[in-house]
């Protein structure tokens, strides 16, 4: 009797949870075992729960059947919806799909009619995704990425074909390119492709399935993406051999700040990309976007410059530039991003692990330079 009683209590709890999930008033229904919404009324608990579960399962299977019918009807229209949703511009979508604007417009209208809801807000000729459209686009991207991964797994060897990467700034030449060369050496059938994209651009490309992995150094959160912190890199203040401070044995910070700096532009977060402290004023003599250009400007001896230590290491060893021991700059975190649902055979995970190992090697070399024994650093960097 105890076992039967406990079983009925579990069934009652299960029934109660289903009622709540379906919007029913579970608190009022269960004590009386009375479910008028589903045509069930009984004084016997076991009989009531049994009939209730049967009714719920029948209703659930009916809804699932309806959803499968909808999916079958709209399947061919979903790729068109995705392009229109990502561009929010019919002429651009028509050009990508090689179809007329009228045909695309009809497809979107038929899709909305079948789903019985609008996916766009319309203002004149402008289409803007509404909340339902955004939810559908997000799940559609995930689903199409899964299909792409499945096709690749069926048709290709795991480490063959194209691996699409993006990077920016110091990460590119000193971290990502060496990893790409190592990857190609280990997997000759793999074709790495590298693009130079800012974090927000890379995030959009990842979500659209145009990238596999993105590397960047600004902390940002993107829905639908998994972001890993791989480590950190450091920067310091430098000047070139022709600069008045180059041969000075000791230079105070106040003296250093009397000289103009060459500085990079602003990042996607609105901060200067060399992470200079906002509460520390300095004179700006030049603005430059490319890291390699800033290295060359530093070597000219005309300006003081903040450089990533990895970019300066070679020239310090050649005694063409000089590092100042003023640690004003915090370490810069390095990140990798990929889609949350991706990479059935581990290619993204492999390149991220190789990048993490590369960062560890570089960090040990930079630590040696900052301690003053940079001449012992490896020439392989």
Check: CATH 3.40.190.10 for 153-232+334-366? Answer: yes
For 235-330, CATH number?
A: 3.40.190.10
Q: Which parts of the chain sit beneath pLDDT 70?
A: 1-65, 149, 152-153, 155-158, 266-272, 341-345, 373-381
Q: Same CATH fold, 235-330 and 153-232+334-366?
A: yes
- Note the pLDDT of residue 59: 55
Edge to edge, what strands does the sheet with 304-308 contain? 284-287, 261-263, 304-308, 235-240, 321-324
- Note the pLDDT of residue 269: 60
CATH fold of 80-152 reads Arc Repressor Mutant, subunit A (1.10.10)
Q: Distance between CA atoms of 183 and 176, rounded to whole angstroms?
A: 10
- Note the pLDDT of residue 257: 92
- Note the pLDDT of residue 37: 45
Domain spans of the chain, in order of start: 2-73, 80-152, 153-232+334-366, 235-330
Give the CA distances from residue 138 to residues 89, 142, 338, in Å, rounded to whole numbers and listed in that order. Answer: 18, 7, 15
- Note the pLDDT of residue 20: 46
316 within 8 A of 322, measured Cβ to Cβ: yes
- Note the pLDDT of residue 169: 79
Q: Which residues pair with 40 in a beta bridge?
A: 35
- Note the pLDDT of residue 291: 76
Q: Distance between CA atoms of 339 and 345, rounded to whole angstroms?
A: 14
């Amino acid at each position: 009797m105890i076992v039967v009683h406990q079983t009925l209590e579990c069934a009652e709890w299960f029934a109660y949870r289903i009622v709540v999930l379906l919007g029913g008033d579970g608190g009022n229904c269960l004590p009386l075992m009375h479910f008028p919404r589903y045509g069930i009324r009984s004084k016997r608990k076991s009989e009531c729960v049994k009939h209730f579960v049967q009714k719920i399962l029948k209703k659930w299977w009916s809804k699932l059947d309806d959803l499968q019918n909808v999916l079958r009807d709209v399947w061919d229209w979903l790729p068109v919806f995705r392009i229109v949703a990502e561009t929010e511009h019919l002429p651009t979508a028509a050009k990508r799909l090689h179809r007329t604007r009228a045909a695309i417009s009809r497809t979107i209208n038929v899709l909305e009619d079948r789903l019985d809801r609008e996916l766009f807000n319309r203002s004149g000729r402008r289409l803007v995704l509404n909340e339902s459209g955004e939810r559908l686009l997000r799940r559609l991207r995930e689903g199409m990425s899964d299909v792409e991964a499945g096709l690749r797994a069926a048709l290709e060897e795991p480490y063959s074909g194209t691996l699409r990467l993006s990077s920016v700034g110091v990460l590119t030449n000193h971290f990502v390119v060496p990893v790409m060369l190592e990857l190609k050496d280990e997997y000759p059938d793999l074709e790495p492709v590298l693009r130079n994209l800012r974090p927000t651009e890379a995030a959009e490309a990842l979500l659209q399935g145009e990238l596999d992995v993105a590397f960047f150094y600004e902390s940002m959160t993107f829905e639908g993406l998994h972001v890993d912190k791989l480590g950190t890199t450091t920067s310091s203040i430098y000047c070139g051999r022709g600069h008045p401070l180059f041969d000075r044995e000791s230079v105070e910070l106040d003296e250093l700040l009397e000289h103009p700096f060459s500085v990079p532009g602003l990042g996607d977060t609105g901060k200067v990309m060399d992470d200079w402290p906002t509460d520390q004023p300095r004179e700006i003599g030049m603005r430059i976007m490319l890291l390699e250009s800033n290295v060359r400007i530093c070597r000219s001896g005309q300006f003081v410059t903040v450089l990533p230590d990895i970019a300066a290491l070679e020239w310090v060893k050649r005694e063409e530039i000089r590092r100042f021991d003023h640690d004003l700059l915090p370490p810069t975190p390095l990140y990798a991003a990929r889609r949350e649902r991706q990479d059935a055979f581990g290619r993204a995970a492999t390149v991220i692990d190789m990048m993490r190992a590369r960062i560890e090697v570089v960090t040990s070399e930079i630590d040696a330079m900052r301690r003053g024994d940079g001449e012992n650093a490896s020439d392989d960097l």
